[in-house]
Structure 1
């Protein structure tokens, strides 16, 4: 894991942008003051989640999280053919320390590349008409139990949940599961047997009886 280094992020971003569109100048700066949905006119916003590690400076406890919010504010000047990105990674607070401070995340090289690749692909999609398919969060280590429940995340004073959204299974249920998931039968929908014969049924029964008697007399002649 690597601690957040502004120069490294800016350098990696510019290298990737130069590979995609070398004739355009794009810059990236880390900014802790930007907030979600508060943008100057003409700016665009892009957010993604990332996986990283935190280390508490008070108790030296470390924890992993896949709910690290990466916020980017993007501006493109077509007249100067220049663009700039302001990026913020949101800190988290240790659960074991009541008076702990918010700690900045650390990312692996693989996750830094993923974050920047998603950002570059988004810029190419919005301003240059390229396709866009975001790379999902890369889990490099198992999450700690506390981070599976709730964690303190800095950002507008909101206490956020760290539960992961699980993908619904596409496999067919077993016969036992299918039968158990069926709703109980409603007795009111089952018709009760009729005890009395209708008028038509009575006439039909009398007609059959009379026919049987006449046929018996004919056979006895």
Structure 2
């Protein structure tokens, strides 16, 4: 299951990158109903991060498949004295090949999951632990040559798609 891939990868990375260095254990939860942080959330220490990655989609109706370099991912994260918590929403896309209104969730290769999580962990180190971070090779921007199909993108439909988010 895709959620397990994200959770397992995050568990391993947080142990090496956060728990060993800061003594805080972080957890990741998939929440497909995640919305914008409220001012109350922000006052309670929650921060957000939106990024993009390559993902693969397969329509359950017509079995059409496609790749997208602009799958939007929204993270909310917060550090507390007892540990840290991360919530993730993966925005979905509709199939353009059939008339189905179903929103389809992307699957990701393990290396793409790791790249996204390393960017997130770097953001956590900077925002929660005040670490001075120099952007490394996992923070490159990719030139997207195909047009982004706004009417099929859940993030665009909800006004949350960031064309400036870092794709890799």
TM-score relative to the length of structure 2: 0.78
> What is the Cα-based RMSD across aligned positions, in Å?
2.9
Q: Indicate the structure whose relative CO is greater, using CA pairs within 8 Å and at least 6 residues apart.
A: 2
How far does residue 86 in structure 1 lie from its aligned partner after superposition?
A: 0.4
Residues 134-153 of structure 1 aligned to structure 2 (within 5 Å)? 135-136=139-140, 148-151=147-150, 152-153=152-153
| 8 Å CA contact 1:111, 1:138 repeated in 2 | no
Cα distance between partner residues in 2 of 1:12 and 1:49: 17
Cα distance between partner residues in 1 of 2:38 and 2:141: 25
Highest CA radius of gyration, 1 or 2? 1
Match of 1:95 in 2: 96
Question: SS of 2:139's equivalent?
Answer: coil
Cα distance between partner residues in 1 of 2:3 and 2:160: 26
How far does residue 91 in structure 1 lie from its aligned partner after superposition?
A: 0.4
| 8 Å CA contact 1:51, 1:137 repeated in 2 | no
Is 1:8 the counterpart of 2:5 in the alignment?
A: yes
Q: How many residues align?
A: 155
How far does residue 136 in structure 1 lie from its aligned partner after superposition?
A: 3.3
Q: Point out where structure 2 has 5 or more consecutive residues left out of the alignment.
A: none
| 8 Å CA contact 2:54, 2:67 repeated in 1 | yes
| 8 Å CA contact 1:90, 1:154 repeated in 2 | yes
TM-score relative to the length of structure 1: 0.61
- Runs of 4 or more consecutive aligned structure 1 residues displaced over 3 Å after TM superposition: 36-39, 136-139, 155-165
Match of 1:75 in 2: 78
